[in-house]
Structure 1
Amino acid sequence: MKISKALLPRKLKEFILRILEIKKEASSKSFDLYYHLRFSFKEHNLKDDQAQFKYYLTKHYHIVEKGLALPEPRLGFGQPKIADIIEKAQRYESLFGSDELTASIRKTLKEYIAFNSAQNFELPIQFENLLSEFIQQGNTGNSGGLKDKKKNTSSTLTLDEYKDFAIGRTSVRNFSEEPVSIDLLYKAADIAKNAPSVCNRQGWKIHCYSDKNTIINLLSYQNGNAGFTHTINKLLIVTADVKAFTNFESNQAFIDGGLFSMNLLLAIHAAGLGACCLNTCYPSSKEKEVKTAAAIPDNERLIMMIAVGNLKNDFSVAYSPRNPTEQIFVPH
């Protein structure tokens, strides 16, 4: 016999609801683990998947770049790792051909040789031959290795100037009817890609939607856009490619995706546009539905949606107070 919920004691109803919440949370964490194990690259069992190969090589040649950028690089450092990079890069080129990635690797290794030579350090002849032969097998790129910087030109803004800019960015929920230029969003993305990421792997993606019916459909899965859905001109969905990450990095997809999203929001703000972050805190079943509706590959995880529109001449925004700085800044 079915028991009505209304007849259950309050404490028992609360207990049942809590058990259901725990079950949903556990299912969500299992979903995270499943995707990480399915798509992340394995350091000691690298598959012939171009994306995984690219992220693996980026991780490891960036370690050489970081070694060269230290205050006092160790002479002849990283020889076993560099030999592995060369072996994997040659395998990559045999499968997928030469590209900007392998050109950047060659430039980095060329600078590695130059650094040791400038210090009159003789690399083992067999290892030096391995380096030289690999470098000669292809082109060196314009990026990779080191880039010289100067203190007086490393920033073009004072802290007070940046404060005015950063505080000026707010979540906008009331856009004008003027359409947003795709080219302008492309330029914002081009700037946003300079966000930091684990070992410079840059595992983020932006999916941009312009069709009004598609936007309405995708936002029907999201609970934070009620009342201004019809004013949104462009919808961005930021994702993270799970293939960019490896052991113990399942959370890194969301960290890198969040860093990129903030850079993107600031670039959109600099472009004179309005934007509003919309969370994608979905159970696994709904995330699958959203990715299907949005034509997003299965190996990408949803980070957030961003509603974008042109600004009205006058508009209002939510003005909640920020927590006092002394509550968040903890000196030790």
Structure 2
Amino acid sequence: MIFKIKTQIKKIPFLLPFFNYAYISIFKPLGIINLGFYTTIRTLRFSLKKNNIEAWKVSMRVSCHIIEKGLTMPERRLGFGLPRLANIANEVLKNKHNENLSEVKVAVGIIKDYKKVHEKSFYKLPEKISDLLERVEIMYPDLKIIKQLKLTKEQYFSSKNENFLKFSSSRRSIRNFSGKANAEQVQKAVELALKAPSACNRQVVKCHIFNDKEKIQEILSYQNGNRGFGHLIPQLCVLTVDLRLIGENEQNDIYFNAGLFAMNLSYSFHYYEIASCMLNWAAPPKRDKKLRKILNIPKHESITVLIGFGIPSNLIDIARSDKKSSKESIINN
């Protein structure tokens, strides 16, 4: 439509400058606003609908992962996450019809592991919690305990020179650190990560690296996913995207491009024997503005994701974070 109008206007030369001004100042911004409005409405429409099996499975996976993380924290606090654990147990008990789902099997295995860990430490759980866990064990006596992983640093990096199948399967989020990676390791990792695909080869992602402990703690105080281990993170990478470099109708693409780079960077870290953990940035505008001020980044850059990294401990506790099957992810059309 705009193209047709512009074609007609070209026949009237003195109108063309006015049309170009109106397009850049009015029509183009309105198109971007329309895309943002469209995305927001769709998010509101569907993200609030939780009464379906897929939402239930995701809720279980999230809850179980929180317990997994607690079991593998470098400074594990016994008796952690009791409200969350009770919720998982109750969901398992009242949804017997979902017993064949992997989410139920994982939940039961984690419940048994939680119970075993506390028994070994002679920690007495509250009676109501103990009763709940006991009921789950009685309902599912044949499901095995799912223990979290414990590897040495050498074991963790043992597949870094193997084929991609073994290499990619060996990389996991690490929350146990012993020190900082040196500048050369970090530079090489970033150089390798830059091989990631980039829309139209724009390469809009910037890596802000922080090594100062106090600064890192200040930054992490605005991020909600580092409780229990954030104070031990020795280095931090904040990925941003330069908004001046994206095209029209591509504001959602900033997270796509940053995601591609972030995954490649985590693989690159793994190759250069640097442990890392993704820390999502999902914050309201007020908190986003505060962090941008603390980071002292240019106004035209948007924060997309944080990555904690460093040299891992000699003995690493790792959350299993079992993945769903490919059958659940592939839709043949």
Q: What's the TM-score, normalizing by structure 1?
A: 0.51
Q: Percent identity?
A: 33
Following the alignment from structure 1 to structure 2, what is the Cα–Cα distance between the partners of residues 269 and 179?
Answer: 14
Corresponding residue for 1:319?
Answer: 320
Deviation, structure 1 residue 296: 1.2
Matches within 5 A, 1:165-184: 165-176=167-178, 178-184=179-185
Deviation, structure 1 residue 33: 5.1
Corresponding residue for 1:190?
Answer: 191
Structure 2 CA distance for partners of 1:284 and 1:276, relative to 1, 3 Å: same
Matches within 5 A, 1:96-135: none
Deviation, structure 1 residue 179: 2.2
Corresponding residue for 2:248?
Answer: 247
Following the alignment from structure 1 to structure 2, what is the Cα–Cα distance between the partners of residues 324 and 267?
Answer: 26
Corresponding residue for 2:204?
Answer: 203
Following the alignment from structure 1 to structure 2, what is the Cα–Cα distance between the partners of residues 235 and 320?
Answer: 23
Are positions 1:267 and 2:278 aligned together?
no
Corresponding residue for 1:164?
Answer: 166
Corresponding residue for 1:230?
Answer: 231
Matches within 5 A, 1:1-332: 161-176=163-178, 178-332=179-333
Deviations 1:104-157 (A, max 9, x none): xxxxxxxxxxxxxxxxxxxxxxxxxxxxxxxxxxxxxxxxxxxxxxxxxxxxx9
AA of the residue aligned to 1:175: F
Deviations 1:71-114 (A, max 9, x none): xxxxxxxxxxxxxxxxxxxxxxxxxxxxxxxxxxxxxxxxxxxx
Corresponding residue for 1:58?
Answer: none
Indicate if the aligned counterparts of 1:275 and 1:308 stay in contact, CA closer than 8 A: yes
Indicate if the aligned counterparts of 1:231 and 1:309 stay in contact, CA closer than 8 A: no
* Structure 1 unmatched ranges of 5 or more: 1-28, 35-156
Deviation, structure 1 residue 331: 2.7
Following the alignment from structure 1 to structure 2, what is the Cα–Cα distance between the partners of residues 293 and 189?
Answer: 23
Structure 2 CA distance for partners of 1:257 and 1:281, relative to 1, 3 Å: same
Following the alignment from structure 2 to structure 1, what is the Cα–Cα distance between the partners of residues 332 and 282?
Answer: 32
Deviation, structure 1 residue 320: 2.1
Give the total of aligned pairs: 178
Question: Greater shift after overlay, 200-209 or 239-248?
Answer: 239-248
Following the alignment from structure 1 to structure 2, what is the Cα–Cα distance between the partners of residues 245 and 190?
Answer: 22
AA of the residue aligned to 1:324: S
Following the alignment from structure 2 to structure 1, what is the Cα–Cα distance between the partners of residues 297 and 252?
Answer: 20
AA of the residue aligned to 1:256: N
Corresponding residue for 2:83?
Answer: none
Following the alignment from structure 1 to structure 2, what is the Cα–Cα distance between the partners of residues 179 and 259?
Answer: 25
